[in-house]
């Protein structure tokens, strides 16, 4: 069986997220209006290959996921959950993962391949007070809020019980090559 | 041992009792020399000073007098609150989101009005919701006549709540699908930046809002317009600036039409910085990297040397451009990297700048906008957003 494409994985993630938090028809109506009014923008995964490396990509490492230069953190903005009692794709006790996220396309320096990363926020607890070096704000191909799927300035706590931001994770959701 | 004890006891006793006896003999004299102080609350002038600014600090906005680098007062500002100053400078508006029990409970979103003289809370208006998108000035704006507040919201669909500040209640909600933020017109509405590379223009002056769209004028994927692009609210002129340093001057309105762009580097006599991720050049960047001085048609930009996609990097210099001749007229070096600037709107303006030094709290630098001389450096624990009157 053919494995699902990154687009399928992302779509599934977003759809599941929407299904979980959108209890009111108005939300779905507005989302529908967005989809109709705007042509769905091309995901960045298609243009990840064959580009010169960014400064982040040249310096990134694969050993310590609690550092800002960890390869998956190419477009993260926030406190790394791994510094706060969570992990690279798990939330610290007392907080909840957001069902939706922004995404980045990051290059793993070990195999030279690019992967789709979902930066899911952990929510519902006051912000984690980790050391300064756990607060990251990388911006490789991060876009403004009017392109929300690639915007890392947004508090991505839609659909959780409380939209209070706690920390950010970087889950691997598929290949971008 | 015994004698020592007695001495220790008697001497202090006499010391304590004798002045009391003396006091009994001359009660009137003591009253003449010591008036008990009365506690009172300070008051500020009725309008915000021209050289003042509200600086984002931890959980608050701190009001500074830039001439003296002195704190005048504080406004509350919870989690990612926004702030706007009324055009008549007599009221400060804060939008805030809170949960009744800290990080849980009922969510409450509201707009508060504070009197500029007493800093007393004068009005509190509940709103449906507001965006919790890292604080940016462009989340909250006021109409030039002080009648309407525009509050950007994202749920994650996007809309703007319009509050009637005269009536003290929400007037309408405007859906702006695929678009975000608000840039005020000179009169009768606002525009938003859209993911298709155009603008949504929302006409509103009471009644039913009308939305128009401009054709695409920028590439939202490869060279997006900064969310923090500045507007001169008096003329309703926006300067939409792209990550690659192009400036689209746009007179905002229902038929907004961005003009042909000019380039920041070319305006400085340099080659335009391209979009290469290994191409070093002078580029705009920061948290609030732009300010305009409406009276002299000047645009202030935080610039740094970097590759493409370094649009969040702090500035090493402030470049000053004439928006009419499209030429750089000054280059102001900074003593440390700076993340945010604002410029007062008077004839002898000050620049408020917030430093961005890794692992150090934000310093507030106050510069003479003409000479670039740093007049004050304050350990303000400032966050990278400052708001001045008239902007």
Residue B148: Cβ-neighbour burial (10 angstroms; 0-12, 13-18, 19+): buried
**CB neighbour burial string for B123-147, b if at least 16 within 10 angstroms, e if fewer:** eebebebbbbbbbbbbbbbbbbeeb
Distance between alpha carbon B184 and the CA centroid of its chain, in Å? Answer: 15
What are B203's strand-pairing partners? B189, B210
On whether residue B123 sits in a domain, the answer given is yes
CATH code of the domain in which B299 resides: 2.130.10.10
> What is the model's pLDDT at position B30?
56
Rounded Cα gap, residues A137 and B391, in angstroms: 27
What is the arithmetic mean of pLDDT over A65-86?
Answer: 96
H-run or E-run covering A104:
strand A102-108
Task: Find chain B residues with C-beta within 8 A of A103's C-beta.
Answer: none
On whether residue B37 sits in a domain, the answer given is no
Distance between alpha carbon A132 and the CA centroid of its chain, in Å? Answer: 21
Residues B83 and B135: beta-carbon distance below 8 Å:
no
Smallest CA–CA distance, residue B152 to chain A, in Å, is 11
Task: Find chain A residues with C-beta within 8 A of B105's C-beta.
Answer: 162
Q: What domains, with CATH codes, occur in chain A?
A: 6-175 (2.60.30.10)
Closest CA to B135 of B84, B205, B71: B84
> What is the model's pLDDT at position B29?
57
Partner residue facing B156 (CB), from A41, A42, A148: A148
DSSP state of A56: H
Partner residue facing A38 (CB), from B133, B195, B227: B195
> What is the model's pLDDT at position B26?
52
**What six digits make up the tokens of A61?**
């490492």
Pick the residue of B108, B178, B385 with the most A CBs within 10 A to test the interface with A by mutation: B178
What is the arithmetic mean of pLDDT over A9-15?
Answer: 47
On whether residue B32 sits in a domain, the answer given is no
pLDDT in tens, chain B (391 residues): 344 444 444 444 444 444 444 444 455 555 578 999 999 999 999 999 999 999 999 889 999 999 999 999 999 998 889 999 999 999 999 999 999 998 899 999 999 999 999 999 999 999 998 888 767 899 999 999 999 999 999 988 999 999 999 999 999 999 999 999 999 999 999 999 999 999 999 999 999 999 999 999 999 999 999 999 999 988 999 999 999 999 999 999 999 999 999 999 999 999 999 999 999 999 999 999 999 999 999 999 999 999 999 999 999 999 999 999 999 999 999 999 999 999 999 999 999 999 999 888 999 999 999 999 999 999 999 999 999 998 8
On whether residue B38 sits in a domain, the answer given is no
Q: Token pair 């500029």 is at which residue? A: B116
Partner residue facing A162 (CB), from B99, B131, B221: B99
Of A43-47, A131-135, B128-132, the poorest mean pLDDT is in A43-47
Domain span including residue B313: 43-387
Look up the ipTM and state it: 0.87
> What is the model's pLDDT at position B27?
52
Specify the number of domains making up chain B. 1
**CB neighbour burial string for A47-70, b if at least 16 within 10 angstroms, e if fewer:** ebeeeeebebbeebeeeebbbeeb
On whether residue B131 sits in a domain, the answer given is yes
On whether residue B5 sits in a domain, the answer given is no
H-run or E-run covering A83:
none
Residues A176 and A6: beta-carbon distance below 8 Å:
yes
On whether residue B33 sits in a domain, the answer given is no
Which residues of A are annotated as catalytic?
102, 121
> What is the model's pLDDT at position B31?
57
Residues A175 and A113: beta-carbon distance below 8 Å:
yes
User: Are A139 and B175 within 8 A, CB to CB?
Assistant: no
Rounded Cα gap, residues B120 and B113, in angstroms: 8
User: Are B195 and A147 within 8 A, CB to CB?
Assistant: yes
A140 is in an annotated binding site: no
> pTM of the full predicted structure?
0.85
A154 is in an annotated binding site: yes
**What six digits make up the tokens of B359?**
């692992």
Q: Token pair 């001497």 is at which residue? A: B11
Closest CA to A173 of A56, A11, A63, A42: A11
On whether residue B4 sits in a domain, the answer given is no
- Sheet with B179-184, strands from edge to edge, namely B179-184, B189-194, B199-203, B210-213
**Contact pairs from chain A to chain B, CB under 8 Å:** 129
Residue ranges in chain A assigned as alpha helix (H):
6-21, 25-37, 55-59
Smallest CA–CA distance, residue A108 to chain B, in Å, is 17
CA angle B255, B260, B263 (to 5 degrees): 135
Interface residue ranges in chain A relative to chain B, Cβ cutoff 8 Å: 27, 30-31, 33-34, 37-39, 41-42, 44, 51-55, 77, 100, 124-126, 132-133, 137, 139-148, 151, 153-155, 157-158, 161-165
Span A92-112, pLDDT tens digits: 999 999 998 989 999 999 999
Task: Find chain B residues with C-beta within 8 A of A145's C-beta.
Answer: 131, 133, 154, 180-181, 227
């Amino acid at each position: 069986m053919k494995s699902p494409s990154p687009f399928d994985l992302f779509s599934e993630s977003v759809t599941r997220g929407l299904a979980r938090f959108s209890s009111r028809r108005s939300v779905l109506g507005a989302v529908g209006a967005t989809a109709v009014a705007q042509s769905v923008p091309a995901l960045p995964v298609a243009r990840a290959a064959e580009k010169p490396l960014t400064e982040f990509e040249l310096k990134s490492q694969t050993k310590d996921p609690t550092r800002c230069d960890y390869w998956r953190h190419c477009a993260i903005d926030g406190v790394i959950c791994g510094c706060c009692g969570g992990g690279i794709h798990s939330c610290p006790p007392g907080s909840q993962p957001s069902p939706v996220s922004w995404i980045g396309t990051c290059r793993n320096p070990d195999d030279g391949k690019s992967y789709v990363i979902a930066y899911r926020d952990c929510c519902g607890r006051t912000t984690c007070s980790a050391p300064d070096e756990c607060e990251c704000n990388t911006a490789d191909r991060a876009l403004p809020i009017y392109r929300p799927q690639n915007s890392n300035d947004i508090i991505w706590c839609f659909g959780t019980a409380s939209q209070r931001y706690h920390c950010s994770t970087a889950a691997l959701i598929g290949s971008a090559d | 041992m015994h004698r020592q004890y007695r001495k220790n006891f008697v001497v202090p006793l006499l010391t304590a009792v004798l002045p009391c006896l003396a006091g009994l003999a001359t009660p009137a004299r003591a009253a003449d020399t010591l008036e008990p102080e009365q506690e009172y609350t300070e008051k500020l002038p009725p309008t915000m000073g021209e050289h003042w600014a509200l600086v984002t600090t931890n959980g608050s906005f701190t009001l500074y007098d830039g001439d003296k680098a002195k704190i005048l007062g504080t406004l509350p500002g919870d989690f990612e609150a926004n702030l706007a100053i009324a055009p008549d400078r007599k009221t400060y508006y804060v939008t805030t989101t809170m949960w009744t029990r800290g990080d849980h409970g009922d969510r409450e979103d509201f707009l508060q009005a504070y009197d500029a003289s007493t800093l007393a809370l004068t009005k509190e208006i509940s709103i449906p919701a507001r965006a919790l998108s890292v604080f940016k000035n462009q989340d909250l704006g006021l109409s030039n006549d002080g009648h309407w507040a525009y509050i950007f919201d994202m749920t994650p669909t996007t809309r703007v709540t319009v509050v009637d500040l005269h009536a003290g209640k929400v007037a309408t909600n405007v859906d702006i699908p695929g678009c975000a933020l608000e840039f005020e017109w000179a009169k009768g509405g606002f525009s938003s930046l859209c993911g298709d590379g155009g603008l949504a223009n929302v006409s509103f002056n009471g009644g039913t809002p009308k939305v128009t769209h401009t054709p695409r004028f920028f590439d939202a994927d490869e060279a997006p317009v900064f969310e923090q692009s500045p507007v001169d609210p008096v003329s309703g002129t926006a300067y939409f600036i792209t990550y690659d340093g192009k400036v689209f001057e746009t007179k905002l309105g229902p038929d907004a039409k961005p003009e042909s762009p000019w380039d920041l580097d070319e305006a400085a006599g340099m080659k335009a910085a391209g979009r290469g991720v290994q191409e070093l050049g002078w580029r705009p960047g920061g948290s609030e990297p732009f300010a305009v001085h409406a009276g002299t048609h000047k645009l202030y930009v935080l610039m740094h040397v970097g590759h493409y996609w370094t649009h969040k990097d702090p500035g090493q210099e402030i470049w000053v451009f004439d928006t009419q001749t499209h030429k750089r007229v000054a280059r102001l070096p900074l003593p440390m990297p700076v993340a945010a600037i604002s410029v007062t709107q008077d004839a002898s303006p000050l620049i408020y700048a917030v430093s961005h030094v890794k692992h150090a709290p934000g310093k507030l630098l106050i510069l003479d906008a003409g000479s670039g001389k740093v007049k004050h450096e304050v350990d303000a624990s400032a966050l990278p957003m400052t708001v001045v009157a008239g902007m």
